[in-house]
Amino acid sequence: MKQILVRMVIAMLAMQARAAIHTEKITYKEGDVELHGYLAYDKAVSAKRPAVLVVHEWWGLNDHARSKAEALAKAGYVALALDMYGEGKTTEHPEKAGEWAGYIRNNMDVGRQRFNAGLDKLRKHPLTLTDQVAAIGYCFGGTMVLAMAQSGAALKGVVSFHGGLPTGPVEEGAVKARVLVCNGAADSMVPAEDIAQFQKNMTDAGADWQFINYGGAKHSFTNPNADKRGIPALAYNAAADRRSWRATRSLFEEIFGK
């Protein structure tokens, strides 16, 4: 009987914890483009707190990015999953996803503006500690957060999960954020030469960086729906997902103290 009561209390506490997480769709603009973000935070806490920007995979702002924003909210952060494509567009088709992501990669001024629009929206939230902001990104989004860090964005830290690696030169002293790259060792979309060049550039720039390879993990290893795409290079890897999230939490505890 005692064990049953304990389980009931634990279940009730879990339900209360879930109920405390507030989520909402928000609209903001970059120029004439309307962007649709997804905000999450624990409404049971009134104090200001660190904040994390989440940049989606090349599919757009879908359930994967939203779930990561919710996980960050449960961990005690204000989280905003931003919209890089405009109007909250998402797709299930790799050709369309490649087209949208390619447009941003080929027009990085637009990419930076849309990233900064989301960052500005997050910083202005009344619960955000404005000088305590980080960014994480997945696939296309991982490339984006690394590019922003290399350009000198005022972020405390960035984490890339199975992202492409920017290989262009990095100005010495430019990288202000602490950088964590979570990479699948079996990711055929990230060439070994790109890894070597990225690491050299970050070292030459004097950046504070970590690079973790997860053995056997392919591209998109954090997305439980990766295997459903029908693309051999993509696969979910529960161990790599769990370990990379733990590494992210460890970095955030270091830079934010929580």
Tell me the per-residue pLDDT of 48-79, one tens digit each, with 9 for 90 and over: 999 999 999 999 999 999 999 999 999 999 99
- The predicted pLDDT at position 10 comes to 42
Residue 246 tokens read as: 């733990």
Q: Return the pLDDT at 6.
A: 40
Above 70 in pLDDT, residue 170? yes
* pLDDT at res. 8: 44
* Secondary structure class of 144 (helix, strand, coil): helix
Token pair of 101, please? 């992501």
Q: What is the pLDDT of residue 9?
A: 39
Output the pLDDT for position 37. Answer: 98
Beta strand 21-30 with 49-55 is unpaired
Average pLDDT, the chain: 93
pLDDT tens digits, 189-240: 999 999 999 999 999 999 999 999 999 999 999 999 999 988 999 999 999 9
How many helical (H) and strand (E) elements, i.e. helices and strands, does the chain have?
Answer: 7, 8
Dig out the tokens for 245 from the structure: 């999230």
Beta bridge partners of 42: 21
Would the pLDDT of 15 be above 50?
no
Domain boundaries, the chain: 20-256
Looking at domain 20-256, which of 2.40.50.140, 2.30.180.10, 3.40.50.1820, 3.20.20.70 is its CATH number? Answer: 3.40.50.1820
List of residues 6+ apart from 169 with CB closer than 8 A: 201
